[in-house]
Amino acid sequence: MVECGFITNASEAKYLNSVYGQEILASAIFRATRDVLKKNHPEICFDPPADPQLIATSNEPYYKVQIMSSIDSVATDILEFQKLEYPVECVKIEGSSIYKYKYYVGPFKDKSEAKKAQKDVQANGFGDAFLVLFPA
């Protein structure tokens, strides 16, 4: 359980209700969880898979929107994916995770463009979609 503040405190409630505050707190919770996992499970790899096409053409970081992950492979031409404005990419993940496949739309060089795509994807049935930053 994580206690991030008190909504009964006006200034904390304002911060907790702001997009900025939510992003800062979510990032802090993620980093703390990741640090504990790295310490207790060093076999887990937290590096996102590389996109060979982009790395070959650009040394800039980029974003993708992860729309889902799955235990078994799902065809990228299913009806749910066809509703999206973007092509869906399936990436097979090596490692010990039960989820072996991740599905992304993108890449996007600009974070605001990626956030727009994230909102579009969420509005079309993938409410848990989130941004992933791929380093250069």
Question: Where are the chain's structural domains?
Answer: 10-40, 52-134
Regarding pTM above 0.85, the answer is no
CATH of domain 52-134: 3.30.70
Contact between 63 and 106 under an 8 Å Cβ cutoff? The reply is yes
Residue 54: per-residue pLDDT: 44
pLDDT tens digits, one per residue of 71-125? 889 999 898 999 898 999 999 988 888 888 999 999 998 899 999 999 999 999 9
Query: b or e along 101-125 (b: 16 or more beta carbons within 10 Å of the residue's beta carbon)?
Result: ebbbbbbbeeeeebeebbebbeebe
Instruction: For the beta carbon of residue 83, count every other beta carbon within 10 angstroms.
Output: 12
pLDDT tens digits, one per residue of 24-50? 788 788 888 888 888 888 777 666 555
Nearest to 68 by CA among 84, 50, 56: 84
DSSP tag of 135: P
